[in-house]
Amino acid sequence: MLKDKHIIHMDQDAFFVSVEVRKNPELIGKPVIIGGSSERGVVASCSYEARKFGVHSAMPARMAKQLCPHAIFLRGNMDEYSKASHEITDILKERVPLIEKASIDEHYIDMTGMDRFHGCMKYAHELRATVIKETGLPISFGLSVNKTVSKMATNECKPNGELNIEYPGVVPFLNPLSIRKIPGLGEKTFIKLSDMGIKKIETLSQVPIDHMTALLGKNGLSLLQKSKGIDFSPVIPYSEAKSIGTQSTFKSDSIDIVMIGNLLTAMVMDIAFQLREQKKLCACITLTIRYSDFEDVTRQASIPYTALDSVLIAKAKDLFRQLFQKRKLIRLVGVRLSNLVTGFEQIDLYSQSEEQYSLYQALDKIRHRFGSKSIAIASTMNINL
C-alpha cells in the first residue's frame, strides 16, 4: 500500500559550494559561484547567498556577474566533489537497508517495514546528524510515502532542513505548490500548462486523464499521478557494478597506433553519448587490450564523475599508452565506463566555455534525432563500430 511506504530523500545543500566551504570556512555566508570564471564561462553551482540575486546553474558567467558583481568565483575541483560524494554514500550504505544513489549529491532510502523497529523520522534525523558530523557537509531530507513527494519535501525544507509528509498530509502539502516544483516537469511543459491557466498542483490534479494524455502523452499521465501524490517507482539498490561499454575486434591484427587512437575516440564518443542519454555520470573507466596471441590485459582508473567526451577520450588514450608495452599485434580493444550514478551535469561546466557547453548540447540533439553515429570527429569518420 502507498500509505505504508517510508521513503527518505537526502540531498546535499549546494553540494559543490559546501565542499569548498569545508575547505575554506572564510567562504561561509558569502555569495560563491563555482565555474564561470571567464567572461564566456558557465555557472556550475552557486551558494544560496548568490541565488538570492537570481544566479543559478548553467547561467552564463557574464550574466551571473551582472546579477551578483561581488560574488566569489571559484574554478571548482570535480575530483574533490567526487570523493566527498563517496564519503557520504559510504556512511549511508552502512546504516540503511536499501539505498539508491540518485545523483552525485542525492540518495533515496527505503525504510519501509523498519518503522516497527525504528521511528523512521527519528532514524532519518539521526542519519542526517551522522553525515553532518562525519563529513562536515550540510544535508537536508524529506520523508514521505514515495520518491516524488519525499524529493519535493526536501526541496521545500532546504537548506539545512527536515520535513516529514505523512500519508494524510500529502495532498494538502502538494496542492498550493507551483507545478514547477514537480520533479521531471520541464520548462516547455511548464509554459504549455501555464498558458492553459494550470499553474498550481491542485489545478493540475483536477485535469481529466484523457485531456492530459492528449496534451502530453504518457508524460501527461505521469505528471497527473505525481500531482495527486502517486508514484510507484521503486528505490533501486545502489551498485558500483553498473556499467556501460563497447569493444571492437579488428578484421586483421594491427599495430597501427593512429588507427587504434581514432577507434578509441569513436568508441568513447559512442558510449559517452549513451551515458548522457541515460542521464548518467561515471566515476571509473576500464580499458582492455587483447593481443594476437589472445592474451588480455586490462587497466582501470577512477575519475571525477563525468559524462564528457573529451575527458573520457583523454583518459582512455592514457590507459592505452600505459597498457601497450609489448608492441605486439592487437586483436581487440574494449572500453567500459562504470560506477554510474544519475546526474544532470552533462558537461564539465566549470572548465568549459559557454560556447563549448552549447556545442555539446547541439551535438547531442543531432545524435538524439538522427542517431548516435550521425555526427563525429573527422578522424573517426571511417571507423566502423
Give the residue numbers annotated as catalytic, written as ranges.
106
| Crossing angle of helices 78-93 and 15-23, rounded to 10° | 100
Q: Are 140 and 13 spatial neighbours (Cβ–Cβ below 8 Å)?
A: yes
Chain position carrying cell 557537509: 137
Element at 45 (helix H, strand E): strand 43-46
Q: Count the residues in the chain.
A: 385
CA distances 61 to 40, 58, 177, Å, are: 6, 9, 30
Please list the residues that pair with 290 across neighbouring strands: 296, 332
CA–CA separation, 227 and 66 (whole Å): 36
Q: Are 305 and 345 spatial neighbours (Cβ–Cβ below 8 Å)?
A: yes
Q: Are 281 and 347 spatial neighbours (Cβ–Cβ below 8 Å)?
A: no
Return the closest-CA partner of residue 10 out of 138, 195, 171, 202: 138
What does the block give as the cell for 91?
556512511
